[in-house]
Amino acid sequence: MKDYERMLKALANRRRLTVLRYLRKQKEARVGEIAAVIKLSFKATSRHLQQLSAAGIVERDQRGLEMWYHIGKNPPPPIKTILDYIPNSPE
Rounded CA gap, 34 and 26, in Å?
10
Parse the chain into domains and list their residue ranges.
Answer: 2-80
pLDDT of residue 25: 92
pTM (two decimals): 0.88
pLDDT of residue 90: 61
With contact defined as beta carbons under 8 Å apart, do 7 and 79 qualify?
yes
- 2-80 belongs to which CATH class? mainly alpha
Each residue's pLDDT tens digit, 8-30: 899 999 999 999 999 999 999 99
